[in-house]
Amino acid sequence: MTELIPLAACVLIAFGIGSNDTSNALGICIGCGVIRLQRAILLFGCFVVLGILLQGQKVMQTVGKNLVDVNLPIMSIALSVSAILIILSNWKKLPLSTHQVIIGSLAGAGVAAGVAVSFLNLLKIVLSWLISPLVAFFTALFLYRAMEKTISKLSLFRIERILRVLLLLSGILISYNTGANELATIVGPAIHSGLMERTPASLIGSLFVFLGAVLLSRRVIETIGKGITTLDPFSGFAAQFGAGICVLFFTFLGMPISTTYCIIGGISGVGMSKGMKTVKMDLIRKIIANWFLAPTLAFLLSYLIMKIIA
């Protein structure tokens, strides 16, 4: 019966990924007025499934095996705390990294329980969190500058047609990364603890990501797609594809990094290229504050709850 607690938490987090991370794949397209949400969600769901089945293994192993010696109590507390924080963040319309709260919660519960916690792997993960938005920032900036010198010289009609295709491709890449990295972070502990087999866990997780996308994704899309800087299809593609390349690179390394913060890094890079005044720095500061607060709060809550229960 106690196994139902981490399973329920996994379902809630997967649902939260769908509501929060659909914005990563589609928010810029919606902000640019290129793709309608209803037409894109099915495509999003398909590539989430492909991502976790084809390339989720490395991230699953990093989170579920190499970081903490996971057991049922640790997983129950860590995933429950993560689910609550993710849902609250979505309700407040603030982008939140699923990775950060899950890693913070697992580390906090593991330390409190006195099990083996690999602080070297934790350090590698935290460094990847710091580096990845910067990589996305400069990749998006490079793409934008390169496109200014090439595609921008074509006729407006050709530019629009090319960018619609490119935005769709970048959305597919982010959707794939959502499965290979974001969803893999959730199911990794469940799989490596022996609670579920990999394929059923991946398919069930993908289903609830899809349901979250269908039911609750609009709120965060408003923040990502329109809240940081004004986007057109030209700059939107550079930001999104730059972030997608960045996340795919770190996925190959097995690092659970935030697609959300890479997207924000990419958007900021494009915005900076247009001038500081085009970027809403107040929102950026709130997002950065949330970046530090989320894993710290997740660690402390899981640590305290584990100490109380143990």
Q: CA–CA separation, 267 vs 261, rounded Å?
A: 10
22, with CB counted inside 10 A (0-12, 13-18, 19+), is buried
Phi and psi (nearest 5°) for 279? -100, 130
DSSP 128: H
Q: CA–CA separation, 261 vs 263, rounded Å?
A: 5
DSSP 186: H
**What single letter denotes the amino acid at residue 86?**
I
Q: Which two tokens stand for residue 98?
A: 């699923």
Q: Nearest to residue 247, comparing CAs of 133, 127, 111? A: 133
Q: Nearest to residue 105, comparing CAs of 173, 191, 162, 189? A: 189
What pLDDT is attached to residue 201? 93
pTM (2 d.p.)? 0.86
Q: Is the CB of residue 86 less than 8 Å from the CB of residue 20?
A: yes
Q: Is the CB of residue 267 less than 8 Å from the CB of residue 287?
A: no
Phi and psi (nearest 5°) for 195? -70, -35
Which H/E stretch holds residue 70? none
Residues in the chain where the model's pLDDT stays below 70: 1-2, 20, 23-24, 27-34, 37, 90, 92-96, 216-232, 274-281, 283-284, 310
What pLDDT is attached to residue 276? 55
State in Å, rounded, how far the first CA of the chain is from the last one. Answer: 18
What pLDDT is attached to residue 2? 67
pLDDT in tens, 224-274: 545 555 566 778 788 889 999 999 999 999 999 988 788 888 888 887 776
